[in-house]
């Protein structure tokens, strides 16, 4: 029997396809074939399963999220406060140690004859450690210069720094002529007068001529200079120091410094 009564052009059979099986019926438009789900439909989870995004019972949020951030902020603030306290405590502690620390070193050496002072003067000046800065020359002629320094012995002279020093200019053997030697000593004395510019100068009744120089404006360091001549010898005496404070240092009374310098000059010129 002719399968193509209308004599339509024959098309090649597509691979993998064949004629629909007997009894197959095309579903009407808009309906789903049996066993299929409409678009957007999701299969409900089986019994006991958790919906997507839900957490099982007993599940805990991992640390580092949510409310723990407040605890972390408090911890950071506590650390910062602790660091500040440590820094401030360190500064205050350092200031306190410096405040109670006593300056000075060892007992020093034995003074030479030109530098000897009585224990009474050294106690008043709060110095006991001798140091020879410059010894006099051994030459038979010429001016002989000596530089003496009395400083503090740690643990003995207190915590307020003090220092006493003096230069000795001896023109006794400057030349063979005593008058010339005396003139040289006087010229040496007057040459130091120019260094008193701006200071309060006061004449004293010590030796042949003497004067004390006190700074016109007070500072945190008290310093008094005393110049005295007796015969062919000139002494240039300096006494200085300060009183330590917890936050800042200050000068000590000028009258106390002047009293020490005058007492030293009296002993030196009496030899």
**pTM higher than 0.75:** no
- CATH assignment at residue 121: 3.40.1000
pLDDT at residue 187 greater than cutoff 90:
yes
- Ranked by mean pLDDT, the top range of 26-35, 191-200, 244-253 is 244-253
Residue 220 pLDDT class (50, 70, 90 cuts): confident
In a domain, 123, yes or no: yes
In a domain, 49, yes or no: no
Would you state the pLDDT for residue 252?
A: 94
Lowest mean pLDDT among 58-72, 89-103, 196-210: 58-72
Boundaries of domain holding 128: 113-269
In a domain, 23, yes or no: no
pLDDT at residue 243 greater than cutoff 80:
yes
| More confidently predicted of 137 and 217 | 137
pLDDT tens for each residue of 134-165: 999 999 999 999 999 999 999 999 999 999 99
In a domain, 87, yes or no: no
In a domain, 145, yes or no: yes
pLDDT tens for each residue of 26-79: 555 555 555 555 555 455 555 555 555 555 555 455 555 555 555 677 777 878
In a domain, 33, yes or no: no
pLDDT at residue 9 greater than cutoff 50:
no
Lowest mean pLDDT among 43-47, 165-169, 205-209: 43-47
Mean pLDDT, all residues of the chain = 80
HEC assignment per residue over the chain: CCCCCCCCCCCCCCCCCCCCCCCCCCCCCCCCCCCCCCCCCCCCCCCCCCCCCCCCCCCCCCCCCCCHHHHHHHHHHHHHHHHHHHHHHHHHHHHHHHHHCCCCECCECCCCHHHCCCHHHHHHHCCCEEEEEECCCCCCCCCEEEEEEEECECCCCCCCCEEEEEEEEECCCCCCCHHHHHHHHHHHHHHHHHHHCCEEEEECCCCCEEEEEEECCCCCCEEEEEEEEECCEEEEEEEEECECCCCCCECCCHHHHHHHHHHHHHHHHCC
Residue 1 pLDDT class (50, 70, 90 cuts): very low
In a domain, 164, yes or no: yes
Would you state the pLDDT for residue 114?
A: 97
In a domain, 32, yes or no: no
| More confidently predicted of 214 and 245 | 214
Would you state the pLDDT for residue 62?
A: 54
Q: Count the domains in the chain.
A: 1
Give the residue-averaged pLDDT of 10-30: 50
């Amino acid at each position: 029997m002719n399968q193509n009564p209308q004599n339509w052009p024959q098309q090649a059979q597509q691979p993998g396809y064949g004629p629909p099986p007997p009894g197959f019926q095309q579903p009407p438009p808009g309906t789903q074939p049996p066993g299929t789900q409409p678009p957007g439909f999701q299969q409900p989870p089986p019994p006991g399963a958790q919906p997507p995004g839900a957490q099982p019972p007993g599940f805990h949020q991992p640390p580092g999220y949510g409310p723990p951030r407040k605890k972390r902020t408090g911890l950071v603030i506590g650390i910062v406060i602790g660091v500040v306290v440590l820094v401030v405590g360190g500064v205050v502690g350092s200031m306190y140690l410096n405040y109670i620390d006593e300056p000075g070193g060892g007992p020093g050496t034995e003074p030479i004859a030109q530098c000897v002072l009585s224990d009474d003067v050294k106690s008043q000046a709060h110095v006991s450690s001798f140091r020879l800065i410059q010894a006099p020359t051994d030459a038979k002629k010429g001016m002989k210069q000596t530089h003496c320094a009395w400083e503090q012995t740690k643990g003995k002279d207190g915590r307020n720094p003090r220092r006493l020093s003096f230069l000795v200019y001896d023109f006794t053997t400057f030349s063979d002529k005593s008058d010339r030697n005396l003139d040289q000593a006087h010229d040496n004395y007057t040459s130091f007068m120019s260094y008193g510019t701006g200071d309060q100068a006061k004449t004293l009744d010590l030796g042949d001529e003497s004067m004390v120089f006190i700074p016109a404006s007070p500072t945190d360091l008290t310093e008094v200079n005393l110049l005295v001549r007796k015969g062919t010898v000139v002494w240039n005496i300096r006494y200085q120091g300060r009183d330590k404070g917890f936050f800042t240092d200050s000068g000590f009374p000028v009258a106390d410094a002047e009293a020490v310098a005058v007492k030293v000059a009296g002993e030196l010129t009496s030899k």
